[in-house]
Amino acid sequence: MALSETLTLLPGLPLASFMHGVLFEGELFGQTLVITPWKFIGYTGVFLFGGRWFVQLAASRKNKRVTMPRLFWIMSLTGSICLLAYFTLGKNDSVGILSNLLPSFVAAYNLYLDIRNPHVGGS
């Protein structure tokens, strides 16, 4: 039995039932759209993980050279953590877990290096 199913079946855990409850249900482009708190966490992760490239683009345009600002690594790590939570607890999807596990380690390591060795002149 999956962890998310176990949490759902335990009657004493109101948080588990809330996380799988429906926040919004409607139609979008003729398709039914159901948003649960877990999906909201997943969407937040996708927004952060995808949005980091716009941060990198803006920093590179400003510096007129390829630049990886600290915010890029923060968004990368935060997005990976959100997606790992969604795929582990919300969906129990091993493909999603594995596809976000490695990037989270890379982002954490690069953020550690960036904090440990700050840029002169900063970006």
What pLDDT, on a 0 to 100 scale, did the predictor assign at position 22?
Answer: 87
Residue 6 domain-assigned?
Answer: no
Residue 5 domain-assigned?
Answer: no
Asked whether residue 120 carries a pLDDT value surpassing 80, the answer given is no
CB 82 within 8 A of CB 45: yes
Cα-Cα end-to-end distance for the chain? 47
Question: Which pLDDT band holds residue 14 (cuts at 50, 70, 90)?
Answer: low
Residue 18 domain-assigned?
Answer: no
Q: What is the mean pLDDT of residues 55-69?
A: 96
Residue 29 domain-assigned?
Answer: no
Residue 8: count other Cβ atoms within 10 Å of its Cβ: 14
Domain that holds residue 109: 36-116
Residue 17 domain-assigned?
Answer: no
Residue 67 domain-assigned?
Answer: yes
